[in-house]
Structure 1
């Protein structure tokens, strides 16, 4: 018998949906509440490393993800010169195991839809446009009040509600993400035939100019710059700003830039980071994913670490027969050091870039890859 009978998951992103799937499959009654009105997700595309794909296979969605995404096994490093010269081609470590690709890119809303469809199929009850407004822990249960006035009582509440987590504040954790000093322009557009993997350009007016194929006909492209106040730009001004910044990069960027014509495909986000250093639970409420840790996307491990959180937590809850201090100690011990290492490595890369210092980027990437290749 699982350690919990019924669970509320707050947040329907990768971490929340994954936890809902695994617990519902294990016989737990799961409610998932998400503030959004549907499965749409902010952002253009997402890069999933092999360790993320390993969890997606555990969730029973790998075949659908593979069909909708674009898999590849190498990484290109290019120069910001008129030819976009290839400097190095690196063979990525297959961190999910030899039978999974090293990396897969896909449209972020497509991944959200696949995960939430799977959660509903295995029995999780999904409530959109819904959020909790109060948590009241009473012994072995948590009483929850929702914004629409409804209530529920649960054996456990999982806060998977992102970097601005309401749940984190509700359980008294005074921790907010801190700015890193960089911001990222992102877009989603048609894939040129020349783009068959991620290529990264370091240098020029942006710290990083990169792209990732996300499907047979689509890609996700991005430019990382010093953080700025971009909130006042109109959509047309945002598009023009990204096109101007992209003008310094060539090779496949020339085709990508020509296809940047729709302001609705462009968004800008400032990099922030935090790690909850200590137990991620307070009684019967636990945080996972970006609610517990976040990092710049310089190593493309954000979604992977969130999925791993959900996998480890669900595995412990389904393995044990009671929620104990030992369970929480094991969860913290398995997840905190790994997530902290990934966050610190992502921040190290941003520090090198901000200081215009030639750090050992391939070496840092390899060290993280070897770490996450070991199952969480």
Structure 2
């Protein structure tokens, strides 16, 4: 009779898309998972809307939540380019990066996607602790002793840092990379969907660099305008609606109907675009980064969430298939992800740079097409 193999244990720090996905996939393989989230409200400030390309949908299907996503979101298969006055200049088919059996794109209310993932995490048997942070990580060759903000402690075979752009875990393990502003900023708002809006339309130029919208359900959409970043402290929050409406009022087509609903300051989000790509490796010992903790990019090709979800899928695949969780396995995760993520980050930043520099003959559609074609391949 052989001794039973002890169940491996993982702590996931952060309950966003990548952390939730890792937890679901590891629990499916029988690994013990604890997930901690600093916020008391797991779905607080989840944002207005999100555009999910086919490669993101492919991961969501693997997580077992595609049916809920399909029912809650708005699928479409083309993107329009318009003049500032709303005249449609070009309509192009969206590339089905997730395969022909999935839509090219689904727009969703971001809080709805987060709620779907939260429910899947809880159903997986993951132990969830909200309002909790990791105060210290003490590593040795076999694991990590974690001391928590509530005074408790536990030991894990691995810690997955999914705590976002300003990851405290990244800093705690000695990785000094930090997000850097790219020079642009975005205003976002969720509003009712006009009947005429059945896809994403983008206008380049006018009062802003980009004005666009994406349907997120039968009744909702999220709209956004991209401008040069400003000192956030100089914009009073109570003026957000006036600021955004002032920019959007310069556009025609569906924009007048959208702008009429930009009235509640509390529904508007203003965020700078950032860039970060951790080089060399995404782990130190038995602590490994996923998602925005390892990389971030402007949403100019709408791939931020997709890259985070792909990270989770690849890391979970390696962990559940590996007999030994060692430096070679975690370095292999980095080496498998890095070329793909680098291409997305560099393309996303380049599109913004062309606009900031006023390059009028830039091949934005060509760069986007090449990048999306690359993403058809499995991660």
TM-score under structure 1 normalisation?
0.97
Deviates more, 1:51-60 or 1:324-333: 324-333
What is the SS of the residue equivalent to 2:233? coil
RMSD of Structure 2 on Structure 1 (CA) = 1.4
Which of 109, 112, 115 matches 1:113?
115
What is the CA–CA distance in structure 1 between the aligned matches of 2:157 and 2:270, rounded to whole Å? Answer: 39
Q: Which residue of 2 aligns with 1:241?
A: 243
Q: Name the CA shift for 1:2/1:107 in 2 (closer, same or farther; >3 Å).
A: farther
- Map 1:197-216 onto structure 2 (within 5 A): 197-216=199-218
* Residues 2, 290 of structure 1: alpha-carbon distance in 2 compared, 3 angstrom cutoff: farther
Q: How far 1:225 moved relative to its partner?
A: 0.3
Q: Which residue of 2 aligns with 1:362?
A: 365
Alignment pair present for 1:36 and 2:34: no
1:215 counterpart SS class: coil
Q: Name 1:159's counterpart in structure 2.
A: 161
Q: Do 1:185 and 1:268's aligned partners in 2 also have CA atoms closer than 8 Å?
A: yes
Which residue in 1 is equivalent to 2:143?
A: 141
Give the CA deviation at 1:4: 7.1
Q: How far apart are residue 325 of structure 1 and its match?
A: 3.1
Counterpart position of 1:228: 230
1:79 aligns with 2:83: yes
Question: Which residue does the alignment assign to 1:277?
Answer: 279
After superposition, residues 1-376 of structure 1 pair within 5 angstroms as: 5-38=8-41, 39-81=43-85, 84-357=86-359, 358-376=361-379
Q: Distance in 2 between matches of 1:236 and 1:41?
A: 17
Question: Is the 2:87–2:253 Cα contact (8 Å) retained in structure 1?
Answer: yes
Which shifted more, 34-43 or 136-145? 34-43
Contact 1:4 1:323 in 2 (8 A): no
Contact 1:4-1:156 at 8 Å conserved across structures: no
Paired with 2:371 and 2:129, the residues of 1 have a C-alpha distance of: 36
Distance in 1, Cα, partners of 2:352 & 2:8:
43
Greater relative contact order structure (CA < 8 Å, 6+ sep): 1
Worse overlay, 256-265 or 215-224 = 256-265
What is the number of equivalent residue pairs in this alignment? Answer: 374
TM-score, reference length from structure 2: 0.96
Runs of 4+ in 1 over 6 A off after TM superposition: 1-4
Q: Distance in 2 between matches of 1:265 and 1:237?
A: 12
Cα deviation digits, residues 61-83 of structure 1 (max 9, x gap): 000011111010100001112xx
Question: How many angstroms does 1:232 deviate by?
Answer: 4.4
Q: Which consecutive residues of structure 2, in runs of 5 or more, have no partner in the other structure?
A: none
Deviation at 1:323, TM superposition (A): 0.8
